[in-house]
């Protein structure tokens, strides 16, 4: 295992120190590194809090700032944050409008955020993201997994909260965006969890995992490596069939790298996916390409399609200033 590490046990803490120092104009690190919060708080708006296991950077800490999250709780690598982390984050950013938890659909995340919601003082509500069409159930989740579509929910709901939407409105909006968002991933290599020191799974030189999860959990099936167009075709077909959107629908296309995929390949996949989705009658009105919801050093990518309307398009376009997204 070759990684830039001093000691495995200190990896997360030292990384968080570096993140907070590099983006000190945007974020503040909470006590005992339990959470990252935006530097400039707005006590009049709904506060958005998310989090999950580390190893998916820039999700979630990279999306803390104006127009997105107010706080993010980093668990250990691929491990849910603890309830006390979540409660302290909520208390640090909560105002009169309440706190909205955005939670990916994994058993540990859901359990710990539910416990935190019961403990936390003040008004809270929860949105669960479950955009992965690859499998209905896995060892790691209750039903469909929450993956890169979580970023889209955080951005759109974050913009609405910034504009003054109340807690009930933010919940309804987040649930609507999640219901209109689908994702699917493919892995060309495994990731290597530092504490384990060896790849999570093994792929042959001519194999890939179709429908892989962001922790390296199995997908639909293991298949022979194919050309990019064939890979994009299977993924866009699964997504479009599940969305069943009317012809002419406007959509956002996110091509997300898993951490070990060169940008040149991500744009190639975007070109293929966009072409295929447009052939199916979708109009790609917004785009995002890059490594935003990663799986450590895994080579691979995911495609996410989110149907848009006038309101969600405007909220997607709204100003955002975080470490990972700025416009």
Residue linked to tokens 């913009």: 159
Crossing angle of the two packed helices 167-179 and 310-317, in degrees rounded to 10: 100
pLDDT > 90? residue 305: yes
| 318 has pLDDT over 70 | yes
pLDDT(138) > 60: no
pLDDT given at position 216 = 83
> Quick check: 182 pLDDT over 90?
yes
Is the pLDDT score of 201 beyond 90? no
Instruction: Say if residue 282's pLDDT is above 60.
Output: yes
Evaluate if pTM is beyond 0.85. Answer: yes
- Confidence check: pLDDT of 141 > 60: no
Distance (Å, whole) CA 254 – CA 252:
7
Weakest mean pLDDT among 153-162, 211-220, 225-234: 211-220
Q: Could you read off the pLDDT of 4-23 as tens digits, one per residue?
A: 999 999 999 999 999 999 99
Q: How far apart are CA 25 and CA 20, in angstroms?
A: 9
Per-residue pLDDT at 139: 56
Segment 31-53, tens digit of pLDDT: 999 999 999 999 999 999 999 99
Is residue 217 predicted with pLDDT exceeding 90? no
- What Rg value do the Cα atoms of the chain yield, rounded? 19
Longest dimension (CA), the chain: 56
Confidence category of residue 75, pLDDT binned at 50, 70, 90: very high
> CA-CA distance, 159 to 314, in Å (whole number)?
9
pLDDT at 100: 98
Q: For residues 218 and 153, give the distance between their C-alpha atoms in angstroms, rounded to a whole number.
A: 25
pLDDT tier, 136 (very low <50, low <70, confident <90, very high otherwise): low
User: How much is the mean pLDDT over the chain?
Assistant: 95
Is the pLDDT score of 185 beyond 90? yes
Assess contact for 283 and 250: CB atoms under 8 A.
yes
pLDDT of residue 121 exceeding 90: no
Structural tokens at position 41: 């708080």
Q: Write out the catalytic residue numbers.
A: 56, 215
Cβ–Cβ contacts within 10 Å for residue 288, how many?
Answer: 18
């Amino acid at each position: 295992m070759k990684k830039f590490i001093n000691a495995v046990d200190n990896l997360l803490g030292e990384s968080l120190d570096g993140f907070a120092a590099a983006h000190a104009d945007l974020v503040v690190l909470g006590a005992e590194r339990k959470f990252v919060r935006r530097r400039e708080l707005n006590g009049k708006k709904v506060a958005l809090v998310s989090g999950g296991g580390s190893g998916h950077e820039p999700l979630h800490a990279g999306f803390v700032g104006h127009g997105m999250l107010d706080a993010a709780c980093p668990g250990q690598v691929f491990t849910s944050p603890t309830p006390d982390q979540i409660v302290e984050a909520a208390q640090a950013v909560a105002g009169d409008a309440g706190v909205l938890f955005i939670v990916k659909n994994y058993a540990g995340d859901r359990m710990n955020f539910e416990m935190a919601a019961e403990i936390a003082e003040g008004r809270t509500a929860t949105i669960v993201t479950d955009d992965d069409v690859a499998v209905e159930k896995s060892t790691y989740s209750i039903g469909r997994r929450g993956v890169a579509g979580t970023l889209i929910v955080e951005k759109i709901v974050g913009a609405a909260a910034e504009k003054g939407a109340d807690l009930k409105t933010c919940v309804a909006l987040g649930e609507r965006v999640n219901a209109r968002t689908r994702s699917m991933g493919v892995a060309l290599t495994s990731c290597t969890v530092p504490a384990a020191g060896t790849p999570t799974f093994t792929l042959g030189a001519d194999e890939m995992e179709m429908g892989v999860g962001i922790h390296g959990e199995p997908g639909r099936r293991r298949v022979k490596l194919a050309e990019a167009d064939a890979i994009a075709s299977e993924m866009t077909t699964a997504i479009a069939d599940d969305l069943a959107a009317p012809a002419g629908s406007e959509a956002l296309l996110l091509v997300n790298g898993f951490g070990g995929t060169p940008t040149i390949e991500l744009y190639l996949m975007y070109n293929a996916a966009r072409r295929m989705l447009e052939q199916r009658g979708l109009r790609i009105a917004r785009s995002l390409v890059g490594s935003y919801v990663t799986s450590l050093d895994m080579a691979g990518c995911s495609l996410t399609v989110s149907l848009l309307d006038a309101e969600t398009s405007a909220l997607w376009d709204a100003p955002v200033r975080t470490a990972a997204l700025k416009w």
